[in-house]
Structure 1
Amino acid sequence: MEKGSVLITGASSGFGEACARWYAKRGYPLILAARRRDRLEALAEKLDTPVFLMCLDVRERIAVKEALECIPEGFSGVEILINNAGLALGLAPAAEADLDDWETMVDTNIKGLMYLTRGLLPGMVERRRGHIVNMGSVAGSWPYPGGNAYGATKAFVEQFSRNLRCDVLGKGIRITNIAPGMAETEFSLVRFKGQADKAAETYQGVEALSAEDIAEIVGWVTTLPQHVNINHLEVMPTQQAWGPFAVSRDV
């Protein structure tokens, strides 16, 4: 069967870029979406597969709609959507957090994911074939200090994925939520707003997950036999686990 196209958001770095390389090696046509066109173009030049680029901010609802309507015919039968665009900003406690940061996380991690899903799902339903992979996080299930709004957005991703499974039952469509733990990408650099030293401290002494590790997982779940659906996959590096309960002993 001819391979349908794979649309990856946040494709200019990290998990998205690694996924693009994984699928390109296996001959999938790619639709790569991100805000940084220069990075997308540099990546596309290295991929030996048909590529269509979308310079896109997933927070912009109308822009997403228009971009999806402009996908060329050769790429239009999107078979796999990887909702990867997302970010964390800051680690301040809730009483001190920047509301702009909270809104940016909600607009990107929640609204952007909804816009892409709603835009592409009708075509998948019509073709009775497709797979949506939503990039969640262990933060969607397990809280940590300063995770507040970020963890809440990823909890949405987890529940949205589960409810999508209910909505597409019997329609030949698969839904997967991938929940990575600590992974060494640009994630912490973005979280700490370009403070490279602070970002590097996050991974000091730890062999964290790599973008390639996650790409292998995404590729695996999407190439399993059609009758197999991985609902939720949580993955951490071996050196990471859950911590003990926090207890305040102040009198």
Structure 2
Amino acid sequence: MTGSTTFDTSVAHPARRYNYLLGGKDNFAADRASAHGLIEVFPAVRTAAVENRRFLERVARHLAEQAGVRQFLDIGTGIPAVPNVHEIAQGITPDAQVVYVDNDPIVMTHARALLTSNALGATAYVEADVRNPAAILRSPDLRATLDFTQPIAVLLIAVLHFLTDDDQPYDAVAELTAAMPRGSFLAISHTTFDPLPGDVRRRLTALTDPAAGHGPFRPRTHEEVARFFDGAGLLDPGLVSVVDWHPDNTGVPHATPVEAISYAGVARLP
């Protein structure tokens, strides 16, 4: 998730909570407590986190291999977890260029230390918030790394559900995509409560209340997530459960849509 240049380790942060759910060690007690609060209500939350990560890997590989994308803008990158976007992209196209964006200084510290490009490609790091697209777009590091005359893949993986309606998420995405060169791509995964039984949905909805202490969270319906792609052409298979977007055939068991509780889609921008 992508704000502030200060941080409070006594308050859970989405990127660090996500790191814990993925089995990482770069998190604090508040992040772990928040994660366990979610697990108590929805035990498959770790599975959901893993499936979002798998989608990130698949979409980066698909765009690099099938669409020839050489530039990626990964917003809400989170704490590095192998393989990262530049490792996937540069494994296919060695001169691929990737800009990572997040609002957590801890994430940025890890990114700068660990997300190093090969000699042919490039990586850069922007500390900014998706709620402020202009700050991202005017970043000198972004402009020095990405060529705005060539297609760019904008990755918003498991990030937009941290924006409430008051954050005007549709406007933020529209501003970002409007600035992209012709033929660019937009990839999104987004939590939904659509497939959940009513009792689980009610309990999870209660955790999104600010008083619950887990931070802002806004799950969205299929129709609401689809709105982020307005004006763009969704690639096959459309907006589907994250587990159904070009699933791999590695033999790793796939989660169900109920366990993953996320929609995913990729679109070509006009």
TM-score, with structure 2 as normaliser = 0.47
Greater Rg over alpha carbons, structure: 1
TM-score, reference length from structure 1: 0.50
